[in-house]
Chain A
Amino acid sequence: MTMAPERVLGVAASGPGDARGHRSDRRSAGRRAGRRRAAAAGLVFLLPALVIFGYFAWWPIAQSVVLSFQQTNLVSAPHWVGLRNFAQLFADPLLATAALNTLWFTGLSLLVGLPVPLVCAVLVSELRRGGALARTLAYLPVVIPPVVAVLLWKAFYAPGESGVINSLLGLFALGPYPWLQSPVLAMPSLVVVATWSGAGTAVLIYLAALAGVSRELYEAAELDGASVRRRVWHVTLPQMRGVILILLLLQIIGALQVFTEPYVMTDGGPANATVTVLLMIYRYAFLFGNYGVATALSVLLALVLVVVSAVYLRLTRSWSTS
């Protein structure tokens, strides 16, 4: 940031050099000089982005591929190990557990996180009063920092009869349930938290999309005698298909990278029931100092994400054209 003045000086310095060019055709020369000046100025204005992206986006992306074939522990110099990082990864029985857990988390969060915001949005959009209040309430959890949300819900999930959720269920003579203390319930409990902090955004996006659905289509459907339910099914949902599909993809990609909830709430427990791929990457790198294997797993995750996106886009394209 503080380098801006030098950059401005840099423009000035390149000025005279440009002026030196002579051509018989003055207009063409002028245009070329203009192009060159634009290139110089463009470069100057792009410099912050080039430096920042160069260091913190392009270089790490390239490095990831390199690192996954190296042994790096920050103590001895990195050296090439071929596919050994990947071999070590596949020999780790935790990899299968983590992959399955991550898929389970993703599946569950779609099961809850797809229909709930959609239904909410449809209901809110039909409100004749209190729409702003409803939107605000729906969005409030999103405003809370994720770590706060996670720690708050950890308190809600306290086991035994004095836990908040358990005493709530106790009013209906249910429970107490062990929630985070149970290998079976732990993952669904995390999904609830993740959905709680994410659903508000989806509601607002769906609402924006709902507002864009043409009124005439509803009018026409109504004139054809379509019931409300049929209007939702045959007009609203098809019109929203694009938004729904994009959010679905984003949700899948986000869920495959889940970290904060299992890291803070369960640390992967109990009995590895909530170890996710990203948690495993974190442990390999920052607990065991094995950056090569950690990066190898990152590369695998990246491949999965790319394949998911590609397959998804392919499928949705064929649906929308058929």
Chain B
Amino acid sequence: MTSGPAPVRGILSSADWRHSATRRTWRLLHAVLFAGLVAFGALPLVWMWRASISSTADLVQRPLALWPDPARWSNLYDAWSLLGIDRYLQNTVVLVAGSWLVQLIVATTAGFALAVIRPWFGRFVYGALLATLFVPGTVTLIALYLTVLDLPGLGISIADTPWAIWLPAGAHAFNVLLAKQFFDAIPRELFEAAQVDGAGWLVVFRRLVLPMSRPILAVISLLAIMTAWKDFLWPLVVLSDPAQQPLAVALPRLAQNTDPAYLVAGLVIASVPPLVIFLIFQRQIVSGVGWSGLKG
């Protein structure tokens, strides 16, 4: 307990914390909070880990145990090789990486054009981009699918290729909005000075704006990667060829006729990459950088 005026206070003040009845109530509430958080946040994942190295019989006989008996580590390897998790994981990485790259390119170039170059038609384009925010992707699912099957004017189908995931991922107006707002805040004198020095827009973009934009690039990247990793409905629809499918689509299909223990091993493997990314960026994500208004 600190005494004197606390620099940071919440709803409760230090005086409240010194009040024994209040303190007891809130200690109890906090104990309940942590119990709940552990029960819902941690235990399901611990159970998943345990189940992934258990035999199916062990799972049925001791469903609540948190340690397997006997531990069957070979599940992870079997799931990896027999279920083809390795291939699906590779597909996922390829799809996520491409979606990320396309989103970055579209967001930064468009944001740069709208915030820095500011052509006279910019606000119309910006309006048209933002308008798409009001039409959720699921609503245009069918039309988008038919578009991908037969690209208008080109007459080619990109269904069952990674392009069917990569390119539509770029049509995400929120990224453009983030990039534009960030670039808007860069003092214009910098661009004018660079142009006086004879730099073209491409140089300004690459040498000046991009290096200054690490924070927003990080935010867009994180959003892009997380969204792409979690995406289910669109890849389910557009990647009907099992050889192309990411883990998210392959797992429910495999779930239909797979030994539960292998399946859970597959679930664990699918969860590890996002968990690792989360733990790396944990501080930034959890402390709430740019959380206002962001919801995947």
> At the interface with chain A, which of B68-76, B77-85, B107-115, B212-220?
B107-115
* B60 surroundings in chain A (CB, below 8 A): 162
Best-buried of B138, B152, B285 by chain A (most CB within 10 Å): B138
> At the interface with chain B, which of A16-24, A36-44, A100-108, A181-189?
A36-44
Report if A228 contacts B (CB, 8 A). yes
Chain A 247-260 interface 0/1 with B at a Cβ cutoff of 8 Å (1 = within): 10010010001011
Report if A163 contacts B (CB, 8 A). yes
Closest CB of chain A to B78's CB: distance in Å? 17
Counted as pairs of residues, one from A and one from B, with CB atoms less than 8 Å apart, the total is 309
Report if A136 contacts B (CB, 8 A). yes
> At the interface with chain B, which of A47-55, A91-99, A314-322?
A47-55
Which A residues from 257 to 311 make CB contacts under 8 A with B? Answer: 257, 259-260, 263-264, 278, 281-282, 285-286, 291, 294-295, 298-299, 301-302, 305-306, 309
Q: With the chains together, A146 CA to B249 CA distance in Å? A: 11
Closest CB of chain B to A180's CB: distance in Å? 14
In the complex the two chains form, is A218's CB within 8 Å of B11's CB? yes
Q: Which single residue of chain A is at the shortest CB-CB distance from B229?
A: A145
In the complex the two chains form, is A167's CB within 8 Å of B142's CB? no
Chain A 124-162 interface 0/1 with B at a Cβ cutoff of 8 Å (1 = within): 111110101011111111011111101111111010001
Q: With the chains together, A113 CA to B131 CA distance in Å? A: 28
Residue from B125, B142, B201, B288 within 8 A of A64 (CB atoms): B142
Closest CB of chain B to A29's CB: distance in Å? 17
Q: Which single residue of chain A is at the shortest CB-CB distance from B13?
A: A222
Residue from A72, A130, A247 within 8 A of B146 (CB atoms): A72
Closest CB of chain A to B22's CB: distance in Å? 7
Report if B94 contacts A (CB, 8 A). no
Report if A164 contacts B (CB, 8 A). yes
Given A41-B201, A52-B102, A61 and B270 touching (CB < 8 A)? no
Q: Report the count of interface residues on B (CB-CB < 8 A).
A: 108
Task: Say whether chain B's binding surface is mostly helix, strand, loop, or mixed.
Answer: helix
Given A45-B109, A147-B248, A298-B142, A156 and B44 touching (CB < 8 A)? yes
In the complex the two chains form, is A52's CB within 8 Å of B170's CB? yes
Residue from B8, B30, B136, B291 within 8 A of A204 (CB atoms): B291
* A205 surroundings in chain B (CB, below 8 A): 288, 291-292, 294-295
Residue from B16, B144, B274, B294 within 8 A of A60 (CB atoms): B144
Report if A114 contacts B (CB, 8 A). no
Report if B271 contacts A (CB, 8 A). yes
* B90 surroundings in chain A (CB, below 8 A): none
* B42 surroundings in chain A (CB, below 8 A): 137, 140
* B51 surroundings in chain A (CB, below 8 A): 155
Residue from B48, B102, B128, B263 within 8 A of A58 (CB atoms): B128
Report if A59 contacts B (CB, 8 A). yes
* A259 surroundings in chain B (CB, below 8 A): 138, 232-233
Residue from A63, A167, A207, A219 within 8 A of B13 (CB atoms): A219
Q: Which single residue of chain B is at the shortest CB-CB distance from A145?
A: B230
Which A residues from 200 to 232 make CB contacts under 8 A with B? Answer: 200-201, 204-205, 207-211, 215, 218-219, 222, 228, 231-232
Report if B193 contacts A (CB, 8 A). no
Q: With the chains together, A152 CA to B144 CA distance in Å? A: 31
Chain B 219-263 interface 0/1 with A at a Cβ cutoff of 8 Å (1 = within): 000000000011011000100000000011101100100001001
Closest CB of chain A to B95's CB: distance in Å? 13
Q: With the chains together, A63 CA to B264 CA distance in Å? A: 41
* B53 surroundings in chain A (CB, below 8 A): none
In the complex the two chains form, is B121's CB within 8 Å of A42's CB? yes
* B173 surroundings in chain A (CB, below 8 A): 53, 57
* A231 surroundings in chain B (CB, below 8 A): 11
* B146 surroundings in chain A (CB, below 8 A): 63, 67, 72, 74, 291
Q: With the chains together, A137 CA to B292 CA distance in Å? A: 20
Which B residues from 134 to 160 make CB contacts under 8 A with A? Answer: 134-136, 138-149, 151-152
Q: 28 A-B residue contacts at CB 8 Å?
A: A1-B102, A8-B202, A43-B119, A45-B110, A45-B201, A49-B170, A50-B125, A53-B128, A55-B152, A56-B168, A64-B143, A120-B37, A123-B30, A125-B10, A141-B41, A143-B271, A144-B275, A147-B232, A147-B270, A151-B267, A204-B286, A218-B9, A222-B15, A236-B11, A257-B136, A264-B255, A282-B141, A298-B142
B positions within 8 Å CB-CB of A = 8-13, 15-17, 22, 26, 29-30, 33-34, 36-38, 40-42, 44-45, 47-48, 51, 60-61, 63-64, 101-102, 105-106, 109-110, 112-114, 117-122, 125, 128-129, 132, 134-136, 138-149, 151-152, 167-168, 170-171, 173, 176, 200-202, 205, 229-230, 232-233, 237, 247-249, 251-252, 255, 260, 263-264, 267, 270-271, 274-275, 278, 282-283, 285-288, 291-296
